[in-house]
Amino acid sequence: MPKLVAMTDAVERAQAAVAAAEQAQAAAAEALRQAQADAVQDRAEAGQAADVAPAATPGPLQESEVDDIRSGYQFEGDALEMGALVNGEARADVPVRIPIAMMNRHGLIAGATGTGKTKTLQGLAEQLSALGVPVFAADIKGDLSGIATPGEPSEKLTARTRGIGQRWRAVAAPTEFFSLGGVGAGVPVRATVSGFGPLLMSKVLGLNDTQESSLGLVFHYAAKAGLPLVGLDDLRAVLSYLSTAEGKVELRDLGGLSAATVGVILRELITFADDGADVFFGEPEIDTTDFLRTTADGRGIVSLLEVPGVQDKPALFSTFLMWLLADLFNDLPEVGDIDKPKLVFFFDEAHLLFRDASKDFLTSITQTVRLIRSKGVGIFFVTQTPKDVPNDVLAQVGSRIQHQLRAHTPDDAKALRATVSTYPTSGYDLGEVLQQLATGEAIVTVMNERGAPSPVAWTRLRAPQGSMSPTPPERIAATVAASPLLPKYGTPVDRDSAHEILARKMGAAAEVAEGARAAKEETESSRLAQAEYERMQASWRQDQKKSTQKRPPTRRRAPATQKNPLDSFLSSATGRSVVRSVVQGIFGTLRRR
């Protein structure tokens, strides 16, 4: 009874915490909407101040170039406020923005460690959510969870935001927390091997064309034979079965598998599982459209995926993200150019997505990035240098936010020169400016509403209105407990799949084979016993015949103690066993062992 009371109290406390969190989020959302309304007034006031007191510190740009940047970032539709131009000092009268309609043209956030990339991501995600656009992000380091908690004001923060025309208010975004396979605090995210498909599985395993074709045959056979492929153990079981004599017979009409190919695929699957992929595969499978949800008041939900230790498991990271994109691409309808995206992806630590990737896998990523724009999905890659992203993928990027780059080594210097060469012509010496940027500043160019690049702008970026620190674990736990998705995905389903079905099938076959072997042994034993009986009988007759030929004419009665050798044999234990075997063989009553 005390345990029940304690559990009831804990549930009530959790419910109270969730209710308080919901109230805080609602209040924060209202504050954010008010802040966006204030932004126009802020810029107007900043412009008036600039007319009276222009920037005292000279900057690298002439005033005519500043005017070009001002006009280059004025858009007709909704836009995300990125910050203000820096020209000697921050120019609050020259806002730098990105059209929300262009967010599905993809983007890049790059910069050295500690330069503010994650906070830039958080600020964009907060504004997207406020404008009704759902956001998905893999929270590699746990820093992004602060988006679910209102920020803490400070004098330094207020002074910085006032200087760029941002009227800062503490705001939390509606957030869902997810974790791969339930390893973590979030709602479990799982996929089945069948849903994953042979093509993507081949890509992440690094199989060649022949091996990929063979794996496709395995998936086809499993579907035809009614063998659900849920986990990696199911795929391994089917591969092992198809390499047996019985499996080869069943596969005869579909083609064949070489033992060498099966061996390669099995080895790659074992390595893949050792990298942690086993936790990702299972049921219930996540419905990726659940990442496209909005709240009742129209705010986009921010979905954060916890992937601890992913630096050591890049295959798992890339596997999930590519499956997620592929699944969305297959399920979402074509929408063309729309006013705002249906979903924006942020791939933090994007270099992990491309590390050790095969050529085919990179081709798959490039194709997905190129085509998913028409489904209303935007992708932002977040990494240290643009060279972390393959050129074919980088060519699809429309907006770029480049934080400070360092050139301490020859490789760094080469990367810096390569980065500078990709920007439009500007009034900056970008090779110098990119090394001088302060934390929270970036070189920005975006795709404007006409699809052309905007002027390059040295920008002091807006501060996030959520917490700069991670959300406390108890609050994350309360949010997860209150999630409408937890009843749907929280409990794993362990139904019969290929592994169990084949185990029973092979077990039954082994029993039949054992029974046949036992029957064969009994039959052979009966045959030998009958042969021994016939031999003894023939021998006795032969002895009788010889005895009769040696007898004298006078017939004498045989002594009472003299017995027929055959009778002696039949009365012995061996004889009785022989007779029993013969009789059982005649009447079909052989007993199985």
Strands 89-99 and 135-139: unpaired
Clarify whether residues 302 and 354 are in a common domain.
yes
Mean pLDDT of the chain: 82
Span 468-506, pLDDT tens digits: 999 999 999 999 999 999 999 999 988 888 889 888 887
Segment 513-526 shows an average pLDDT of 65
Clarify whether residues 338 and 462 are in a common domain.
yes
d(C-alpha 383, C-alpha 496), whole Å? 42
Question: In the chain, how many domains are there?
Answer: 3
Clarify whether residues 384 and 510 are in a common domain.
no
Judged against a pLDDT cut of 90, whether residue 117 lies above it is answered with yes
Look at residue 87 and tell me if it is in a domain: yes
Span 235-246, pLDDT tens digits: 999 999 988 888
Look at residue 292 and tell me if it is in a domain: yes
Q: Angle at the Cα of 67 (from 61 to 69), degrees rounded to 5? A: 75
d(C-alpha 426, C-alpha 424), whole Å? 6
Look at residue 210 and tell me if it is in a domain: yes
Select the more confidently predicted residue: 15 or 318: 318
**Where do the DSSP E strands lie in 363-417?**
377-383, 399-402
The H or E element spanning position 364 is helix 359-372
Clarify whether residues 84 and 215 are in a common domain.
no
Strands 377-383 and 107-110: parallel
Pick from 244, 262, 280: which residue ends a domain?
Answer: 280
Look at residue 163 and tell me if it is in a domain: yes
Clarify whether residues 253 and 372 are in a common domain.
no
Cβ contact 477:456 at 8 Å: no
Residue 576: per-residue pLDDT: 61
Clarify whether residues 175 and 230 are in a common domain.
no
Segment 524-533 shows an average pLDDT of 71
Q: What is the CATH number of the domain that holds 350?
A: 3.40.50.300
Q: 302 to each of 122, 139, 320, how far by Cα in Å?
A: 10, 11, 18
Residue 50: per-residue pLDDT: 42
- The residues, any chain, with a CB within 8 Å of residue 526's CB and separated by 6 or more, are 581, 582, 584, 585, 590
d(C-alpha 527, C-alpha 523), whole Å? 6
Look at residue 543 and tell me if it is in a domain: no
Look at residue 559 and tell me if it is in a domain: no
Closest by CA to 530, choosing from 571, 592, 585, 593, is 585
Select the more confidently predicted residue: 122 or 576: 122
Clarify whether residues 13 and 111 are in a common domain.
yes
Look at residue 410 and tell me if it is in a domain: yes
Segment 6-18 shows an average pLDDT of 51
pLDDT band (50, 70, 90) for residue 296 = very high
Judged against a pLDDT cut of 80, whether residue 577 lies above it is answered with no
Of the listed ranges 253-262, 314-323, 517-526, the least confidently predicted one is 517-526
Pick from 487, 521, 546: which residue ends a domain?
Answer: 487
- The residues, any chain, with a CB within 8 Å of residue 48's CB and separated by 6 or more, are none
CA 309 to chain centre: 14
Pick from 280, 303, 331: which residue ends a domain?
Answer: 280
Span 415-466, pLDDT tens digits: 888 888 888 888 899 999 999 999 999 999 999 999 899 999 999 999 999 9
SS3 503: helix
d(C-alpha 97, C-alpha 80), whole Å? 6
Judged against a pLDDT cut of 50, whether residue 28 lies above it is answered with no
Residue 55: per-residue pLDDT: 44
d(C-alpha 156, C-alpha 158), whole Å? 6
User: Among positive and negative, which fits the CA dihedral 572, 576, 581, 583?
Assistant: positive
Clarify whether residues 323 and 421 are in a common domain.
yes
Look at residue 556 and tell me if it is in a domain: no
Clarify whether residues 258 and 324 are in a common domain.
no
Clarify whether residues 525 and 421 are in a common domain.
no
Strands 457-461 and 343-347: unpaired
Judged against a pLDDT cut of 50, whether residue 591 lies above it is answered with no
Range of 54-63, 165-174, 365-374 with top mean pLDDT: 165-174
Cβ contact 70:43 at 8 Å: no
User: Model's pTM, two decimal places?
Assistant: 0.76
Clarify whether residues 206 and 159 are in a common domain.
no
Task: State which residues form the domain around 460.
Answer: 2-188+286-487
Clarify whether residues 276 and 293 are in a common domain.
no
Residue 593: per-residue pLDDT: 44
